Amino acid sequence: MKSFCISHRKDVDGLGSASLVVAATGADFLLSEYDDIIANLGKVPPDTERFFLCDIGTDNADAGQFTELMKGLAKRCRVTYIDHHLISEATVNRLKRAGVKVVHDEKECASILTYQTLQKELPPGSHMMALYGAVTDYMDDSPVATKLMEKSDRHLVLLEASMLSFALGRKAGKEGFPETVVGELAKLKRPHEIDGVPALALEQVQDNTALELVVKDEGKLKGRLAYMVTEEYSTGNVAKLLIGAFGVPVGLAMKEKTEGWFEVSLRSTSECRVHLGRLISRVSAQLGGSGGGHRKAAGCRVPVGMAEKMIDAVVRAV
């Protein structure tokens, strides 16, 4: 049975999810960013019999189009949507009515959910791919991840997951590197065994040390929020560094990915009073953009001219 997978390309959880699908089904795959998912759903090969979409959230701005595309795919193949991002009950119900199998739980990361879904088809040792995603998404204390971690060498999992995360931070945007990682993980290789990963991870650690000083110097403080515009590939990493540099509950980093539009990442601590995904979904939609995410990690895209209004809205909420 010919299988195909689309999964998130920018983090370990997305790559881990894709690797698990490939290991279980031998699927071909395409890695996507959130902004590209509508276009990429049109790239599912016509002879696909089993399609998996992993770790790609939708939001209010494109939910209708997203649902219609998924409905069309479900008419010609078996479709499984595995995700842990915030999604409305109405969208879930529309997907289910369209024949899509929806595996959704905000308490677990996508790679853990993928592992659970395909466990009977996976080779022994595949749980490590799921744990890499859980650790780097800060969800290794979830119910399923906790049980898997208890049966694993925790220090080894943390080392391998962190190494892979840092390597992706260094080269996630480079064409071919994330795809290589997926293929190698699907063969049950550990991150330290994948060519280039250890060296890239060390380079990124060194860069992060220097970036801490840049963030402290260029970041701005407003209420309980620290924010800055950056050219770094991983805006999420910058947002986390802002929290530490300014001792605030929320960090926000912006990058002009395409002319006239900011790609925005938000990160928070347990001191944050709101669910970031719900907040930024509402705020970005009001400003002509789109967004969503989790309680402590979210993202959006907004017109550059609306950035100040976005920042003010976040400051008022947090």
Q: What is the CA radius of gyration of the chain?
A: 19
Residue 128 banded pLDDT, cuts 50, 70, 90: very high
Residue 118 banded pLDDT, cuts 50, 70, 90: very high
- What is the rounded average pLDDT of the residues 185-207? 94
Q: Contact 130/188 with Cβ under 8 angstroms?
A: no
Where does 151-196 have alpha helices with state H?
A: 154-171, 177-186
Contacts of 273 (CB under 8 A, 6+ apart): 249, 317, 318
pLDDT attached to residue 35: 77
Q: For 234-262, how does the pLDDT look when each residue is reduced to its tens digit (9 = 90+)?
A: 888 899 999 999 999 999 999 998 889 99
Residue 59 banded pLDDT, cuts 50, 70, 90: low
Q: What is the dihedral of CA 306, 309, 315, 318, to 10 degrees?
A: -70
Contacts of 68 (CB under 8 A, 6+ apart): none
Whole-number Å distance between alpha carbons of 241 and 307 = 20
Q: Please state which of the ranges 189-193, 242-246, 275-279 shows the lowest mean pLDDT.
A: 275-279
**Amino acid present at 163:** M
Contacts of 145 (CB under 8 A, 6+ apart): 108, 109, 112, 130, 131, 134, 139
Q: Is the pLDDT of residue 171 over 70?
A: no
Domain 3-199 shares a fold with domain 219-317: no
Q: Where exactly are the structural domains of the chain?
A: 3-199, 219-317
Q: Contact 137/113 with Cβ under 8 angstroms?
A: no
Most confident of 85-89, 141-145, 231-235: 141-145
Most confident of 35-49, 83-97, 178-192: 178-192
- Cα 199 → chain centroid: 23
Length of the chain counted residue by residue: 318
Whole-number Å distance between alpha carbons of 161 and 158 = 5
- Cα 38 → chain centroid: 16
CATH number, span 219-317: 3.10.310.40
- What is the rounded average pLDDT of the residues 148-164? 96
pLDDT attached to residue 174: 66
- What is the rounded average pLDDT of the residues 120-137? 96
Q: Contact 247/291 with Cβ under 8 angstroms?
A: no
**Given this structure, which CATH class describes domain 3-199?**
alpha beta
Q: Contact 222/313 with Cβ under 8 angstroms?
A: no
pTM of this structure: 0.89
Q: Contact 178/194 with Cβ under 8 angstroms?
A: no
